[in-house]
């Protein structure tokens, strides 16, 4: 489903170029549960940006469902994001003046879906996420866990094939964190490809495939405690 | 994205900006209101003045001595002509040019008029009987002089009502004698009303036969000829005919100017319209100022909502959609500004009609349409740049992920 070939990303910091990603080769199959771990500045967020099509590589190729994405126009990439990719961020990024339900409906609204259909699809998702009684609450009236569940609802309302989560539990207490983790894993079990970026070893090690990054490279690619990179 | 969703999303952003949005709507509304009210005032004044001219009648032409060499629209009021228009010319025109219903030669001067021990300096008009018809002047008392040929002088006079009161103080008027510059005239009629003609009050004037006035002022020439045209004849055609006839009478030289008061009124109307537009243009500057405020609000909004823009792009909003969300905000502001502004205008015009009913206080459709268009276009124009800035934001930068 995902195939990165010699993918690099260079940033200009002051006068000197910094390589955030170096020649990454990576293949991820549909339905996988992948965690990306590594110290700050190792390139894990940049890699997630790449996978989510919100950043372009300086070099190399990215095939998503067989399509080379790095040559597509911005609007084509936006359409791909809308159709295939869900994002969950550490800071939730809910629109503060929209209710929980309206936040969940947002991608449908951008897609031009009718109000009636939006509403019925949002109902289904809110039931699934146990948010039905919070439909008309504004984000600042919700707890952290509830906000993240709303954000997850927004990320899956379009039935994406790929869910990208960046520190999804980073702002949550441990109980809410566990709930959110369980929720993401349920979605993965139902067939959604899940990629989680995290500092948290405990969370990271729950994934069936674990990538460790260092200095813009994938240092380890481990399948459930089985090291694929024979060192 | 559906239009109603774009509008609703934009509307929610605006209500969150609450006070700032209201202030902006108010500033747009004041711009709209001041522009439309000033146009209405200007247009009302114009139609008021045109109404004042209406008594001149559209079937009347004026023949002035002298030729305006430039193409200016205003005719020369005092002719510095090499050759005068004479009474003889007038008589020949009336006899030989078909389509002239009546002709009134006019001599104008001022003189000191005395009666018994009262004296008054006033306007003296040398006219014939036709003049009273053409200008639709009627007599309150007495009668016009009759059977006096155009070239014939006679010691008779018609006076305006104001002048009659001044000189005779309510006593017997008809049959009394007046003295002007050593000539004596017997009053045969008193003019009705205070016919206020533009620039001069005819109720304060003395009317005597035109030949008598020529003797009085010792002037062989006429101030002008007033020609009433048979309404079956085209006025432009009549202007050419009169000019040609006068050319023949004056040895082949075109030395008179024939204008229809319509043309004069039209040029005055043009001048007033230009003034209206100039004043409205100054008022419209306030709309541009409001446009700058709209830009400011949008800039702040883009800055405050950077993360939101990043999120929208991450979940698949195109640059065009982001642009539209911000453009829709100023569109809503502009439309709200127009609605509130026009309500203020309606109230102001209503008050105007109440306190100054002489004026029509109408708002011409062109002003209404152009003010609304200008407001909306200005608001959109000034939002374009900040909205483009939002549309061009990289989602990673906007989300603080770069």
Same domain, B198 and B287: no
Bridge partners of residue B110, in order along the sequence: B123
Query: Which domain covers residue A211, as residue numbers?
Result: 30-55+74-230
Q: Do B2 and A83 touch (CB under 8 A)?
A: no
Q: Out of A81, A109, A154, whose CB is closest to B1?
A: A109
* Closest CA relative to residue B207, chosen from B163, B166, B170, B150: B163
* Closest CA relative to residue B200, chosen from B135, B256, B270: B135
Same domain, B344 and B368: yes
Same domain, B24 and B98: no
Measured between beta carbons, which residues in chain B are less than 8 angstroms from residue A155? 315
Same domain, B208 and B325: no
B77 domain-assigned = no
Distance separating alpha carbons of residues A58 and B373, to the nearest angstrom:
46
Distance separating alpha carbons of residues B308 and A95, to the nearest angstrom:
6
Which one of A73, A78, A103 makes the best mutation probe of the B interface by having the most chain B beta carbons within 10 Å? A78
A16 domain-assigned = no
Q: Do B395 and A110 touch (CB under 8 A)?
A: no
Same domain, B91 and B30: no
Number of domains in chain B: 2
Measured between beta carbons, which residues in chain A are less than 8 angstroms from residue B320? 75
Contact call for residues A7 and A43 (beta carbons, < 8 A): no
What is the model's pLDDT at position A131? 93
Query: Which domain covers residue B177, as residue numbers?
Result: 83-254
The alpha carbon dihedral of B60, B63, B64, B70 has a sign of: positive
Which residue shows structure tokens 């959110």?
Answer: A180
Contact call for residues B376 and B315 (beta carbons, < 8 A): no
* Closest CA relative to residue B260, chosen from B223, B231, B232, B235: B235
- Taking CA atoms, what residue in A is nearest to B2? A112
Which one of B3, B308, B311 makes the best mutation probe of the A interface by having the most chain A beta carbons within 10 Å? B311
Measured between beta carbons, which residues in chain B are less than 8 angstroms from residue A139? none
Measured between beta carbons, which residues in chain A are less than 8 angstroms from residue B397? none
Contact call for residues B290 and B337 (beta carbons, < 8 A): yes
A11 domain-assigned = no
Q: Do A93 and B316 touch (CB under 8 A)?
A: no
Distance separating alpha carbons of residues B184 and B171, to the nearest angstrom:
19
Q: B-contacting residues of A 169-198, CB under 8 Å? A: none
A95 touching B (Cβ < 8 Å): yes
CATH of the domain at A110: 3.40.50.300
pLDDT tens by residue, chain A, 231 residues: 899 999 999 998 888 888 999 999 999 999 999 999 999 889 999 999 999 999 999 999 999 999 999 899 999 999 999 999 999 999 999 999 999 999 999 999 999 999 999 999 999 999 999 999 999 999 999 999 999 999 999 999 999 999 999 999 999 999 999 999 999 999 999 999 999 999 888 899 999 999 999 999 999 998 876 555 544
Q: Which of B254, B277, B308 is the last residue of a domain?
A: B254
Number of domains in chain A: 1
A87 touching B (Cβ < 8 Å): yes
Contact call for residues B226 and B103 (beta carbons, < 8 A): yes
A92 touching B (Cβ < 8 Å): no
Q: For residue A25, what is the enclosing H or E element?
A: strand A16-28
In the predicted model, residues of chain B with pLDDT beneath 50 are: 70-73, 76-79, 81, 198-199
Q: Which of B254, B280, B305 is the last residue of a domain?
A: B254
A61 domain-assigned = no
Same domain, B318 and B226: no
A63 domain-assigned = no
What is the model's pLDDT at position B273? 86
What is the model's pLDDT at position B197? 53
Q: Do A79 and B316 touch (CB under 8 A)?
A: yes
Q: Do B311 and A93 touch (CB under 8 A)?
A: yes
Q: Out of B9, B310, B316, whose CB is closest to A78?
A: B316
Distance separating alpha carbons of residues A3 and A171, to the nearest angstrom:
31
Q: Do A110 and B316 touch (CB under 8 A)?
A: yes
Q: Which of B206, B226, B254 is the last residue of a domain?
A: B254
Distance in Å, alpha carbon of B306 to nearest chain A alpha carbon: 11
SS (H, E, C) chain B: CCHHHHHHHHHHHHHHCHHHHHHHHHHHHHHHHHHHHHHHHHHHHHHHHHHHHHHHCCCEEEEEECCCCCCCCCCCCCCCCCCCCCHHHHHHHHHHCCCEEEEEEEEEEEEEEEECCEEEEEEEEEECHHHHHHCCCCEEEECCCCCCCCCCCCCEEEECHHHHHHHHCCCCCCCCEEEECCEEEEEEEEECCCCEECCEEHHHEEEEEHHHHHHHHCCCCCCEEEEEECCCCCHHHHHHHHHHHHHHHCCCCCCEEEECHHHHHHHHHHHHHHHHHHHHHHHHHHHHHHHHHHHHHHHHHHHHCHHHHHHHHHCCCCHHHHHHHHHHHHHHHHHHHHHHHHHHHHHHHHHHHHHCCCCCCCCCHHHHHHHHHHHHHHHHHHHHHHHHHHHHCCHHHHCCCC
Bridge partners of residue A195, in order along the sequence: A34, A164
Tokens of B319: 């640059």
A45 touching B (Cβ < 8 Å): yes
Identify each DSSP E strand in A116-208 by its residue range. Answer: 162-166, 193-197
A109 touching B (Cβ < 8 Å): yes
Same domain, B279 and B338: yes
Q: For residue A48, what is the enclosing H or E element?
A: helix A44-51
- Taking CA atoms, what residue in A is nearest to B399? A93
What is the model's pLDDT at position A231? 47
A8 domain-assigned = no
Distance separating alpha carbons of residues B113 and B124, to the nearest angstrom:
9
A204 domain-assigned = yes
- ipTM score here? 0.92
Q: Do B1 and A112 touch (CB under 8 A)?
A: yes
């Amino acid at each position: 489903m995902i195939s990165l070939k010699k993918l690099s990303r260079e940033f200009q910091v002051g006068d000197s170029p910094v390589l955030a990603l170096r020649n990454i080769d990576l293949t991820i199959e549909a339905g996988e549960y992948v965690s990306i771990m590594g110290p700050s500045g190792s390139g894990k967020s940049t890699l997630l940006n790449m996978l989510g099509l919100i950043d372009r590589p300086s070099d190399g190729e990215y095939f998503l469902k067989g399509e080379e994405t790095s040559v597509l126009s911005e609007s084509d990439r936006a359409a791909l994001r809308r159709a295939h990719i869900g994002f969950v961020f550490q800071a939730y990024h809910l629109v503060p003046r929209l209710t929980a339900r309206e936040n969940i409906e947002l991608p449908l609204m951008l897609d031009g879906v009718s109000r009636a259909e939006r509403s019925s699809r949002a109902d289904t998702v809110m039931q699934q996420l146990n948010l039905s009684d919070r439909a008309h609450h504004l984000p600042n009236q919700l707890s952290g866990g509830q906000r993240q569940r709303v954000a997850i609802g927004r990320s899956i309302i379009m039935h994406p094939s790929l869910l990208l989560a960046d520190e999804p539990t980073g702002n949550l207490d441990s109980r809410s964190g566990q709930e959110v983790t369980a929720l993401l894993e349920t979605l993965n079990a139902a067939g959604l490809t899940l990629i989680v970026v995290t500092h948290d070893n405990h969370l990271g090690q729950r994934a069936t495939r674990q990538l460790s990054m260092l200095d813009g490279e994938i240092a380890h690619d481990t399948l459930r405690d089985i090291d694929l990179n024979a060192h | 994205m559906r239009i109603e969703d774009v509008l609703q999303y934009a509307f929610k952003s605006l209500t969150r900006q609450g006070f700032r949005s209201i202030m902006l709507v108010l500033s747009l509304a004041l711009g709209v209101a001041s522009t439309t009210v000033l146009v209405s005032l200007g247009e009302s004044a114009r139609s008021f003045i045109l109404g004042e001219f209406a008594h001149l009648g559209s079937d009347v032409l004026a023949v002035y001595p002298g030729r305006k060499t430039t193409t200016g629209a205003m005719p020369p009021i005092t002719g510095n002509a090499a050759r005068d228009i004479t009474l003889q010319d007038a008589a020949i025109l009336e006899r030989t040019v078909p389509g002239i219903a009546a002709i009134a030669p006019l001599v104008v001067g001022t003189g000191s008029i005395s009666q018994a021990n009262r004296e008054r300096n006033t306007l003296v008009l040398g006219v014939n009987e036709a003049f009273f018809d053409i200008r639709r002047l009627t007599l309150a008392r007495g009668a016009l002089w009759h059977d006096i040929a155009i070239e014939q002088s006679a010691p008779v006079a018609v006076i305006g009502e104001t002048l009659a009161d001044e000189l005779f103080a309510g006593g017997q008027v008809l049959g009394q004698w007046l003295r002007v510059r050593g000539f004596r005239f017997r009053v045969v009629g008193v003019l009705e009303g205070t016919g206020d003609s533009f620039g001069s009050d005819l109720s304060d004037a003395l009317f005597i036969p035109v030949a008598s006035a020529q003797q009085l002022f010792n002037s062989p020439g006429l101030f002008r000829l007033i020609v009433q045209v048979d309404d079956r004849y085209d006025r432009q055609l009549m202007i050419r005919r009169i000019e040609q006839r006068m050319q023949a009478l004056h040895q082949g030289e075109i030395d008179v100017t024939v204008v229809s008061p319509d043309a004069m009124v039209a040029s005055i109307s043009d001048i007033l319209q230009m003034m209206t537009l100039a004043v409205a243009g100054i008022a419209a500057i306030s709309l541009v100022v409001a446009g700058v405020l709209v830009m400011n609000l949008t800039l702040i909004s883009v800055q405050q909502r950077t993360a939101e823009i990043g999120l929208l792009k991450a979940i698949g909003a195109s640059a065009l959609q982001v642009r539209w969300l911000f453009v829709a905000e100023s569109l809503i502001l502009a439309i709200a500004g127009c609605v509130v502004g026009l309500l203020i205008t309606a109230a102001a015009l209503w008050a105007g009609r109440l306190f100054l009913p002489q004026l029509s206080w109408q708002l011409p459709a062109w002003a209404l349409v152009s003010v609304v268009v200008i407001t909306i276009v200005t608001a959109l124009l000034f939002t374009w740049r900040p909205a483009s800035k939002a549309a061009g934001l990289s989602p990673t930068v906007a989300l603080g992920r770069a």
